[in-house]
């Protein structure tokens, strides 16, 4: 669980998952004017009959739509609202025409749990047609982007019933859940607590992986290092999947010492960060389905430790050639040279037989350095 003091984005988890207002003042004014005019410009006898009905309609609009929004805003804790999305106000929240979900109940085998959750699920991954994030306290649903559905479904399938079990209590916050829609017309609700990164299934809690946690920070627009990193990394993934980056150029390779950060490779950083666990800014647990064990995401002095990856987010950390956060593409080319695999967002370099050193660009400047360790 997160360690005190809480980071500034932590309090935003308590806010509404919707930052946009469906009924803006302009929209409501249009409804009132239309109702008041009855679609005509003159006040005929027929208009006099319509006017009381129009007034009632305006009042109904106010009490049905405006009052709940005002009450909701009044009940928000200080700083609890997420930043508004910059988009035209006439773009309304999409209407989600999906059936309500049934709470996912699993009959776990007796005795010591073993195996993965996937074999017990009542649906197949290929039958999933949609996924939403449900915030029960606000009665709203946030659609999960189609290209991210696999993140949750794949993780559910690989949850180890024994090793991923979380012997912790719920955070006690209003229930939130994933609603999974299938081709058969059935929908299943899987409670998920973002503050503890756990699923709740049939009285048991299981840790989700780090990818699910980062995705939800991003989808909900939280101001956290996880949200910012996930946004850039997902962009790089989509670029690579579209084959924009082509294939790995193996015709050249750099001295591995030049592809270190602060003079350390992935192994050295992992060891040092593990020893400094008590000085981390915050931590949160996750189930690493690659290593088959519970690990912790840690953020300390501008460094994120994730599954088989160390990410540097601060200008403090640089390569022997002086490359770090803020270095431009042109400077990278001059100081180091071309990458073995490159997309617009990510440049990757070979260390030994694998791509282990990565630069992530935002607006043509390095935003992150990453050291990875393939299995």
Residue 11: inside a domain: no
Percent of the chain as helix, strand, coil, to the nearest 5: 30, 25, 45
Residue 211: inside a domain: yes
Residues 228 and 367 in one domain: yes
Distances (CA, A) of 358 to 151, 201, 239, 304, 372: 22, 37, 15, 14, 8
- Spatial CA neighbour of 190 closest among 210, 212, 169: 212
Residue 10: inside a domain: no
How many Å apart are CA 203 and CA 141, to the nearest integer?
24
What is the per-residue pLDDT for 297? 94
Domain boundary among 35, 55, 74: 74
Q: How many structural domains are present in the chain?
A: 3
Residues 51 and 163 in one domain: no
Residues 67 and 162 in one domain: no
Digitized pLDDT (tens) for each residue of the chain, 375 residues in all: 444 344 444 444 444 433 333 333 343 334 443 343 344 333 333 333 333 444 444 444 444 444 443 343 333 332 233 333 333 333 333 334 455 779 999 988 888 888 999 999 999 999 999 999 998 766 788 999 999 999 999 999 999 999 999 988 777 777 799 999 999 999 999 999 999 999 999 999 999 999 999 999 999 999 999 999 999 999 999 999 987 667 899 999 999 999 999 999 999 999 999 887 777 788 999 999 899 999 999 999 999 999 999 999 999 999 999 999 999 999 999 999 999 999 999 999 999 999 999 999 999 999 999 999 997
Residue 250: inside a domain: yes
Residues 156 and 172 in one domain: yes
- Tokens found for residue 201: 């299934």
Domain boundary among 183, 217, 251: 217
How many Å apart are CA 262 and CA 267, to the nearest integer?
13
Residue 342, exposed/middle/buried by CB under 10 A (0-12, 13-18, 19+)? buried
Residues 248 and 165 in one domain: no
Residues 364 and 229 in one domain: yes
- Spatial CA neighbour of 222 closest among 362, 80, 74, 78: 80
What is the per-residue pLDDT for 99? 57
What is the per-residue pLDDT for 325? 98
Q: Which domain holds residue 33?
A: 19-74
Q: At what angle do helices 45-61 and 25-37 cross, to 10 degrees?
A: 150
Domain boundary among 171, 191, 217: 217
Residues 6+ apart with CB under 8 A from 218: 226, 227, 230, 231, 234
Residues 186 and 110 in one domain: yes
Residues 49 and 159 in one domain: no
What is the per-residue pLDDT for 137? 67
Query: Domain containing 166 — which CATH number?
Result: 2.60.40
Residues 6+ apart with CB under 8 A from 203: none
Residue 81: inside a domain: no
- Spatial CA neighbour of 205 closest among 167, 172, 160: 167
Residues 229 and 210 in one domain: no
Residue 80: inside a domain: no
**pTM above 0.75?**
no
How many Å apart are CA 38 and CA 48, to the nearest integer?
10
Residues 47 and 106 in one domain: no
| 129 Ramachandran zone, left/alpha/beta (phi>0; psi -120 to 50) | alpha
Helix (H/G/I), strand (E/B), else coil: 158: coil
Residues 212 and 233 in one domain: no
- Spatial CA neighbour of 179 closest among 128, 250, 220: 128
Q: Are 37 and 58 in contact (CB under 8 A)?
A: no
What is the per-residue pLDDT for 175? 79
């Amino acid at each position: 669980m997160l360690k005190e003091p809480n980071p500034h984005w932590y309090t935003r988890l308590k806010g509404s998952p919707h930052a946009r207002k469906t009924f803006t003042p302009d929209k409501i004014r249009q409804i009132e004017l239309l109702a008041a005019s009855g679609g005509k410009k003159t006040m005929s006898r027929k208009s006099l009959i319509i006017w009381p009905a129009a007034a009632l309609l305006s009042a109904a609009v106010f009490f049905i739509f405006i009052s709940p929004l005002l009450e909701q805003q009044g009940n928000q804790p200080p700083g609890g609202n997420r930043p508004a999305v910059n988009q035209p106000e006439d773009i309304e929240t999409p209407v989600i025409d999906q059936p309500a979900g049934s709470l996912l109940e699993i009959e776990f085998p007796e005795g010591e749990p073993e195996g993965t959750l996937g074999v017990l699920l009542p649906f197949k991954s290929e039958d999933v047609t949609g996924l939403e994030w449900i915030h029960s306290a606000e009665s709203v649903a946030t659609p999960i982007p189609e290209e991210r559905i696999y993140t949750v479904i794949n993780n559910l399938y690989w949850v180890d019933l024994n090793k991923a079990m979380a012997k912790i209590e719920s955070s006690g916050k209003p229930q939130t859940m994933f609603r999974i829609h299938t081709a058969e017309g059935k929908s299943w609700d899987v409670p998920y607590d973002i503050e503890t990164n756990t699923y709740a299934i049939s009285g048991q809690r299981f840790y989700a992986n780090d990818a699910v946690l980062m995705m939800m920070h991003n989808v909900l627009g939280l101001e956290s290092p996880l949200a910012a990193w996930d946004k850039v990394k997902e962009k790089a993934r989509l670029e690579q999947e579209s084959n924009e980056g082509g294939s790995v150029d193996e015709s050249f390779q750099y001295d591995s010492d030049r592809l270190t950060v602060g003079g350390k490779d992935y192994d050295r950083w992992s060891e040092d960060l593990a020893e400094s666990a008590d000085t981390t800014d915050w931590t949160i647990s996750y189930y690493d389905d690659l290593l088959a064990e519970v690990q912790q995401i840690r953020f300390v002095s501008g460094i994120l430790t994730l599954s088989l990856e160390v990410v540097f987010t601060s200008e403090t950390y640089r390569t022997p050639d002086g490359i770090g956060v803020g270095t431009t593409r042109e400077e990278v080319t001059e100081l180091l040279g071309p990458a073995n695999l490159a997309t617009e967002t990510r440049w990757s370099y070979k260390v030994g037989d694998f791509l282990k050193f990565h630069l992530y660009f935002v607006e043509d400047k390095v935003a992150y350095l990453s050291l990875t360790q393939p299995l």
